[in-house]
């Protein structure tokens, strides 16, 4: 196995998982992308980070992209003598927009591209499996890798699967990003071990409806994004986010907690529409508001 000369680059989208009822199964790629570059060098490890995480994330073997690259090189059978990695991060960290999944997908992608013939050794299915193993679940890594709207899960034998589904071109998103983070671990720790059967049944129906709503029935998005399994249990970690979701939904806006939060995602009818502008005007003081298109593509070489 040999490594390629010169740097390789990748752009990876932000993602929003769950989308209300689709807990740990649904994810959507958004048009906001981190850009990364990697190169094999003679020896050592050089990591540079700008944007989100600069001055906060480790710049050594603990860096999540580096860890994902190392796991991929192990899968391919050879570690390089040295690595240089540059990350330009625009996806907010610990806000429920898939920053860790973007890092993992970037790492496995870059490592594969640094190996001559890497795409023959690791296809998209193998990349998805490795990325999902590193993340622990596929709902964010699948759309980060494949783009668009993806339904994903894990079989009893431990293997992961992902099936892309269509998104009506009229649908876009507005995200409201709080200034303070919430860790995924903390948000998951608030979830009960068991939920009422009626709530599980309601979410199953809403999840199925959401697939139809996103693919061509956007008028059903408000009903389809109703959740009973996870959002309300997380209120103590993100009370302002839940209050915004409830206020938007009361006004007929299909709004949800994005991933593990605390970002709020509201579905809209195009990033340049008057309705989108009206939504952005409801961004709480001190938060960031972004109108984002759905990204049809996942990770791509830059």
Is 98 assigned a ligand-binding role in the annotation? yes
Is 92 assigned a ligand-binding role in the annotation? yes
Is 96 assigned a ligand-binding role in the annotation? yes
CB 211 within 8 A of CB 21: no
Cα separation, 248 vs 175, whole angstroms: 12
Is 53 assigned a ligand-binding role in the annotation? no
Instruction: Output the CA–CA distances (angstroms, integers) from residue 266 to 19, 27, 78, 131, 153, in the order listed.
Output: 9, 14, 44, 27, 24
Cα separation, 4 vs 141, whole angstroms: 26
Is 93 assigned a ligand-binding role in the annotation? yes
| Residues in the chain, overall count | 302
Partners of 267 in the beta sheet? 173
The tokens for 112 are 């594969």
Is 236 assigned a ligand-binding role in the annotation? no
Chain position carrying tokens 């600069």: 54
Binding residue ranges = 92-102
Binding residue ranges for ATP = 92-102
């Amino acid at each position: 196995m040999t490594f390629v000369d010169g740097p390789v680059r990748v752009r990876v989208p932000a993602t929003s998982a769950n989308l209300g009822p689709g807990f740990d199964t649904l994810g959507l790629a958004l048009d906001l992308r981190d850009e990364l570059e990697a190169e094999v060098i003679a020896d050592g490890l050089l990591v540079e980070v700008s944007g989100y995480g600069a001055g906060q994330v480790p710049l050594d073997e603990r860096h999540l992209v580096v860890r994902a690259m190392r796991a991929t090189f192990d899968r391919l059978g050879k570690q390089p003598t040295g690595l240089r990695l540059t990350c330009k991060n625009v996806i907010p960290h610990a806000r429920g927009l898939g920053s860790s999944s973007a890092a993992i997908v970037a790492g496995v992608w870059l490592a594969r591209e640094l190996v001559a013939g890497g795409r023959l050794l690791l296809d998209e299915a193998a990349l998805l499996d490795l990325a999902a193993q590193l993340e622990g679940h596929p709902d964010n890594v699948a759309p980060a890798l494949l783009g668009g709207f993806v339904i994903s899960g894990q079989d009893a034998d431990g293997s992961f699967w992902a099936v892309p589904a269509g998104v009506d071109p009229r649908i876009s998103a507005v995200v409201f990003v709080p200034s303070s983070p919430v860790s995924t671990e903390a948000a998951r720790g608030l979830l009960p071990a068991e939920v009422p059967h009626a709530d599980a049944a309601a979410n199953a129906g809403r999840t199925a409806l959401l697939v139809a709503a996103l693919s061509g029935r956007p008028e059903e998005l408000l009903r389809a994004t109703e959740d009973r399994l996870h959002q309300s249990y997380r209120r103590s970690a993100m009370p302002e986010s839940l209050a915004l979701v409830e206020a938007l939904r009361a006004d007929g806006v299909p709004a949800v907690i994005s991933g593990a939060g605390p970002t709020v995602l509201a579905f809209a009818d195009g990033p340049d529409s008057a309705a989108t502008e009206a939504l952005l005007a409801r961004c709480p003081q001190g938060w960031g508001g972004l109108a984002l298109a759905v990204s049809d593509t996942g990770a791509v070489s830059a």
